[in-house]
Amino acid sequence: MLALKQRGEPIACLTCYDAAFARLLESAGVELLLVGDSLGMVVQGQPTTLPVTLDQMVYHSRCVTRAAKRSLVIADMPFMSYATPERAVEAAARLMGEGGAAMVKLEGGEPLVETVARLTAFGAPVCAHLGLLPQSVHQLGGYRVQGREAADAERIEADALALQDAGASLLVLECVPSALAAALSQRLRIPVIGIGAGNACDGQVLVLHDVLGLTPGSAPRFSKNFLVEAAAAASVGLGSEFSLESAIRGYVDAVKSGAFPAPEHCLA
């Protein structure tokens, strides 16, 4: 992923929870497969990601890694599984050893610097996550854009630099102003993957169910239904076929070309 950042090629990432979609996403050119604890909401029907357990994350990671041959698989560390550095090491050992993940992802800033350093010292690559933190949704007061105020933006920037220095290999920025995400993408050595963070990041990630229009109710403003777009293109002869894979390829192509996210998908 670092090579893609260095040559300025946007990175395409999607969440993935099973073997069938792992094969499809990899075939469509998705470079990063995130086994997200978002499965609690889109697969299990939970109101938040908080009820997802480590056992469930290991199970879904194993399903994905059985099928993925080329894409890098990242597994979310679920709520409270990294409350201490010692617990984080144990959880990462399971996600990578039993689940087969190549990297683990955790949410939070400065308080997790020691944890990131401990994980990387033991050979566990880490993806950090700043901005909107779904596991802290109750503390944040809901799903709101983070970093609009100058002090908050400075804190996110300081956290990003500290996590990078601690050994993080990737950073996900969720629901932050586009200008802040662009500045961090330029300043950090590691790739920055955005979701609701504008199109100047080194890559983009979306929840698979949002891309395929499977999210009940209103989809997040920063997402896009690429299945509908693939169907429309096929109906007027602009697409050779209409399929799930063509929709995913549409997402990958839009990320690579810079067409996604468009201004209407940016939150600030």
The domains located in the chain, with CATH, are 2-265 (3.20.20.60)
Distance CA 99, CA 93 (A): 9
Instruction: Of 76-85, 204-213, 214-223, give the lowest mean pLDDT range.
Output: 214-223
- Which entry of 26, 31, 107, 174 is annotated as an active-site residue? 174
Residue 224: pLDDT band (50, 70, 90) is very high
Residues sharing a CB contact under 8 Å with residue 166, sequence separation 6 or more, in sequence order: 113, 114, 116, 117, 120
**For residue 104, what is the enclosing H or E element?**
strand 103-107
CA distance 61 to 33: 10
User: And the tokens for 86?
Assistant: 């010692």
pLDDT band per the 50, 70, 90 thresholds, residue 229 = confident
Give CA torsion, residues 76, 93, 117, 191, to 10 deg.
-40
Q: Can you tell me the mean pLDDT for 69-95?
A: 98
Per-residue pLDDT of 145-198, as tens digits, reads 888 999 999 999 999 999 999 999 999 999 999 999 999 999 999 999 999 999
Is 98 labeled as catalytic in the residue annotation?
no
Poorest-confidence range of 162-171, 189-198, 199-208, 223-232? 223-232
* Residue 237 confidence (pLDDT) above 80: no
Sequence-distant (6+) residues with CB within 8 A of 203 are 1, 4, 10, 11, 12, 13, 31, 32, 191, 192, 193, 194, 255
Mean pLDDT (whole number) for 136-142:
61
Give the three-state DSSP class for 140. helix
Is there a contact between 190 and 163 (Cβ–Cβ < 8 Å)? Answer: no
234 pLDDT more than 70: no
Q: How confident is the model at residue 144 (pLDDT cuts 50, 70, 90)?
A: confident
Nearest to 121 by CA among 151, 87, 85, 154: 85
